[in-house]
Structure formats: structure tokens, C-alpha cells
Amino acid sequence: MCNSRPDPIGVWEVKQGFICPDHENLSLRRQCELLDVNRSSLYYKPKAEDVYDLSLLNEIRDIWVRYPFYGYRRITWVLNQKGFKVNHKRVQRLMQLGGIHAIYPGPNTSRRNQKHAVHPYLLKGIEITKPNQAWMVDITYLRMNKGFVYLVALIDVYSRYIVDWRISTTLETSFCTEALESALCKGKPDIINTDQGCQFTSEEWISSLKSKEIQISMTGKGRCLDNVYIERFWRSLKREKFYLFEYSSIKDLKKDIAEYMDFYNNERPHQSLNRAIPATLYFNDSPAAAVGF
């Protein structure tokens, strides 16, 4: 608005920050020069917030909460299936705006020490018909607010029972052997299958298995399906528990992991096991479909 102070020249008003489009003595150009203001800014009209973008962002967030491992391309596909006419570039921009990122593999937990010996894969062609015939072991990483922790677990192939597990802030072999020693108090498998990670090719791990006369089996390079049952367990754990919360302390994480392990072993029915409970199969040896490799 124009200042009402009488001034035949009007310079005072302009220098105080008032720009008047109907000034008697000074043009808009001159007023902008005196105030060191870009004249184009006078004609700028703020763009109203795009309501459609807000609605779309909320829809993207809903999809991501259900499928946190989906990136912008998959989310775009889901949106298109729901009737949204949107391309992947727009979805990517909105995801960046909303701080939404797909959860994807990070640290490689399966690096092999080239000096360590690799053992053959022993489960090919074998039919698993009873508990403790074969276990699978693997390590996964869990991203927390302030870094990573690592989780190792041993699963009985026949029953899908998680025999034991441990959490560590490092990838040292010791936390794997601790889980192994604890698991062997519950049962002794004929075969233990692992990947070729340095923890499982180490002398410490190998000697522990040999001392118990357990056959050592290792997945082939790039053959993640050789360890499929523990991989499926990681997917269930992360979708059904870990991805639902944010963890700032290892204590809280351990508590929730322990609760999920108890639920998974003693309550959660498995469709592939005719809705049987893992603990029932593992300890009671109730009949279940045989597993073939």
C-alpha cells in the first residue's frame, strides 16, 4: 500500500520499503532501483499448493508402509493399477520430497575369505523327512537409527523352527559360534548348510562342526535358493516386525526380536507346513510334508 506521508518527490516512502504502483512522481522501475529489488518479483504470484500432489504423496506413503521394499518404479505400477495416471518421474520426485526410500540390501554380510576352504553343497537331491536332519544358518543386517546390527539364526529345515539366534554389532565369528553352541543344547543336526561368508568358512566355525561330527554344507556362489528357508524367515521377520518400528537402542531391538522369535516358533502357522506350528513339528515330530532339494 502507499504511504500517506506527503512528499512531492516520494523518495522517502520508497526507501522505507513501500512500492506504490500509482505513485505520482516515481515509476515502478525507479522505485525498484531505489530499493534494489528485481522488478520481475513484483509480478510473481505464489502458486497454490497442488492438492493432487498431496493426495498422491499420501497414497505413495500408504503403499510404502505396506511394502517398504518397493522403489519408485514398483510404486508407480501399483498407482497405475489403482487408476492414478502418473509416471515414475513424478513418483520419484514426490518420494524424495516426502523422504520415502525403499529398503534394500546394504552391507554385504557374505564376503568370503579367499584363504578359507569351501565345502560342497550336500542338500541337492536329499528329501528332508525329520527334525534335525538339516539346519540352515545365515546372517542378516538390521538398520537402526544410528547404524547397523547383525542377526544370525539357525533354522531347522523340516519344521522351520528357529533353534537359536544372536545379535551383534560386529561381524566377528564369535557371535555365530555362540548361537551354534546354544542351539546344539536343543538338538544336533546331521547337516548344517551356510553360505560362503568368512564367518562360516573360518577355522573357528569349521572346527566347531567337525568336533560335533556334523556334516558341512555350503551354498554355491550366487545360489541364494540353496539357503531358501532362512532367507524366507528373514523376509517374514522384517515385514512382520522389524519394518513396523524404528529402533534407537539395541535393548529394545533385542526385546522385540525375542518376542517375534517366540511368536514365530510357538504360534505362527505355516501354510507350507499344512498350517502346522514349527515348535510342534520340531519337538513332537508330528507328520509334515517332506522337503526336497
Q: In sequence order, what DSSP letters do the residues of the chain get, joined into one string?
A: ----S--SS-HHHHHTT---TT-SS--HHHHHHHHT--GGGGG--PPPP-HHHHHHHHHHHHHHHH-TT--HHHHHHHHHHTT----HHHHHHHHHHTT-------S-S-PPPTTS--PPP--TTPEE-STTSEEEEEEEEEEETTEEEEEEEEEETTT--EEEEEEESS--THHHHHHHHHHTTT---SEEEE-S-HHHHSHHHHHHHHHTTPEEEEPPTT-GGGGHHHHHHHHHHHHHTGGGS--S-HHHHHHHHHHHHHHHHHT--BGGGTTB-HHHHHHH------EE-
What are the tens digits of pLDDT across the range 91-121?
998 888 776 777 655 555 555 555 556 789 8
Average pLDDT score over residue span 251-261: 94
pLDDT of the residue at 160: 95
pLDDT at 192 over 80: yes
What are the tens digits of pLDDT across the range 145-168?
777 889 999 999 999 999 999 999
pLDDT of the residue at 48: 45
